[in-house]
Structure 1
Amino acid sequence: MENKEVFFIIGLGLIGGSFALDIKTKCENAVIYGIDNDEQHLHKALDLGIIDHKATFEDIALADWIIVAVPVDKTVVVLNDVLGKIHNNAIVFDVGSTKFEICEALKSHDKRRNFIATHPIAGTEFSGPEAALTNLFLEKTNIICEVEKTAFVFQEKALQLFKDIGMRIRYMDPLSHDKHIAYMSHLSHISSFMLGKTVIEEEKNQRDIFDMAGSGFESTVRLAKSSPAMWTPIFKQNKEQVVKALSEYIANLENFKTLLEEERLEDIYTTMQETNRIKEILIKK
């Protein structure tokens, strides 16, 4: 398209939809096509003005940019298909929460130079096109893995796009990414799901949960509203790192339980006081 920059968003949920909204705001010449295996998502994205047109994988050759925002178990298959269809100057990036398996699968692809492995550290517990938000990525970190494997000209263009929508950039190798994200994100989601499970199993009366749930419980269990369809494949792909993080977390819980059973209140106080350091770390954020 003359004077137009053509973006294809594959997966019109929270992340894909939010990218579309920001691109519409920042790129005056952008035309946005959407692909989603859920026809209702496509219609909703059109109705909400998130995308301009519906498309299929057969139309990929039209795209200057392709953003793959599907569950990580489908990402490798989709990326292989997409990279086989793009023109030579197209830029492809994914937004998945795991990176090692994706980078390994694509390392020998003929169009690897067109691909950027990214993980925007942004989101909410909601899903679907209705969850998309303008400025979701503002002042959020975008982790890029193996940037040296992407052609420099495509790096420059992608970094400018990320900068335009307000993102900070951090570079990391895929293994380090998956290790750190297991602690900082994946473990948090498991904790939230299991806290919710514990309360639901014990508190059979839904009215009791509704009436007695304070802000502490609500904030801690918020992530348990996240999509199981998205998170189950993430836990599978990052199984080794997640199991390690879980083992350390469970050991800390068991230790706290022992301190309480033995009424070692000074040790409990010291444990919590030492953990209060997290305030100093997060306040910088």
Structure 2
Amino acid sequence: MKNIYIIGVGLIGGSLAIDIKKHNPEAIIHGISRKEATLDQALALNLIDKKATLEDLVHADLVIVSIPVDATVKLLPTILDKVPDSGLVIDAGSTKEAICKVVENHPKRRNFLAMHPIAGTEYSGPSAAIAGLFVGKTNIICEVEKTAFKLQEQALNLFAAIGMRIRYMNPESHDKHIAYVSHLSHISSFMLGKTVVDKERNERDIFDMAGSGFASTVRLAKSSPEMWTPIFQQNKTNVIETLNEYINNLTHFKTLMESDDFEAIFNEMRNTNHIKEILNGIN
């Protein structure tokens, strides 16, 4: 894969660019963005070798789509229209059902691979890109059987080279499970941050009391609303289901507090401590 085009050279796209270039020094990384300033920054940071446009995709060996998921749904059919028969298109979106659906009958469906690398930080843009972001991280691949075998093989070799673990899942299961372990986490962080920011308007010293626990819990509230609003929209049904369960748990906890049942609260927290064993080894 010599000619690689990255649409959206931010945290994920830029980090992929760094690692791909490390393992494939001969590759030419082309950047595509609706913002010229983004491409200028990506060039200055040596994330890409050249600027490009969608019309240049006729020369692509590999296209990586790393833009908000609503934009991916709109743009993906056009991208597939333009790539050569030998080209592979990969998206890195955090939802998969709508993305897979929009190209299910595309003549070049065999040229597309849906993936979701479970990696990232709360930062965005080209300056957020870091080397080694994907080492040891899980990469979920959906509907692999719909991708041409030769292109599958090329993609899997690339993922292995940059250190990813592979997990296969259908798009519906992916979106349901990711609502619990990712989307709900972001909503919780945003809303905790909102609660404290709203309160801070009247109590100016509240942040003087904030420790590392608060900082780590609201870390995700620094994430991009431009990226996360479309994710919540595309995964609305699953997100609402998880929110209902979460709200029920919060309401139950509040009821225990009101009834002074701190033994039950202790037991709830002790039982939840089991999550340490589940998450052991996850960075």
TM-score (norm 1): 0.97
Distance 2:31 2:125 in 1: 13
Q: Which runs of 5+ in 1 are unaligned?
A: none
Say if 2:112 is the partner of 1:115: yes
Aligned with residue 43 of structure 2, among 43, 46, 70: 46
Distance 1:93 1:141 in 2: 16
Say if 2:105 is the partner of 1:138: no
Check the 8 A contact 2:200/2:207 in 1, yes or no.
no
Matched letter for residue 211 of structure 2: G
> What's the % identity of the aligned pairs?
62
Aligned with residue 261 of structure 1, among 253, 258, 263: 258
Check the 8 A contact 2:100/2:171 in 1, yes or no.
yes
Q: 2:71 maps to what in 1?
A: 74
Q: For residues 39-84 of structure 1, what are the alpha-carbon distances to aligned partners after superposition, in whole Å with 9 as ceiling and x for unaligned?
A: 1110000000000000011111111000000000000222111100
1:90-129 aligned at under 5 Å gives the runs 90-129=87-126
Aligned with residue 228 of structure 2, among 225, 231, 240: 231
Distance 1:235 1:168 in 2: 26
Per the TM alignment, residue 205 of structure 1 is displaced from its structure 2 partner at its CA by 6.1
- Tell which deviates more after alignment, 201-210 or 218-227: 201-210
Aligned with residue 272 of structure 1, among 266, 269, 274: 269
Aligned with residue 173 of structure 1, among 165, 170, 174: 170
Per the TM alignment, residue 207 of structure 1 is displaced from its structure 2 partner at its CA by 5.5
Q: 1:283 maps to what in 2?
A: 280
Matched letter for residue 57 of structure 1: L
Change (3 A) 1:207 1:38: farther
Q: 1:27 maps to what in 2?
A: 24
Per the TM alignment, residue 284 of structure 1 is displaced from its structure 2 partner at its CA by 4.0
Aligned with residue 147 of structure 2, among 129, 132, 150: 150
Q: For residues 105-129 of structure 1, what are the alpha-carbon distances to aligned partners after superposition, in whole Å with 9 as ceiling and x for unaligned?
A: 1110000001000000000000000
Change (3 A) 1:157 1:206: farther
Q: Which runs of 5+ in 2 are unaligned?
A: none
Distance 1:206 1:219 in 2: 21
Per the TM alignment, residue 206 of structure 1 is displaced from its structure 2 partner at its CA by 8.0
TM-score (norm 2): 0.98
Paired residue total: 282
Q: For residues 196-253 of structure 1, what are the alpha-carbon distances to aligned partners after superposition, in whole Å with 9 as ceiling and x for unaligned?
A: 0000111226852432110000000000000000000000000000000000000000
Distance 2:53 2:155 in 1: 23
Distance 2:279 2:203 in 1: 34
Per the TM alignment, residue 183 of structure 1 is displaced from its structure 2 partner at its CA by 0.2
Distance 1:271 1:218 in 2: 24
Q: 2:12 maps to what in 1?
A: 15
Aligned residue for 2:280, secondary structure, equals helix
Aligned residue for 1:49, secondary structure, equals coil
Q: 2:211 maps to what in 1?
A: 214
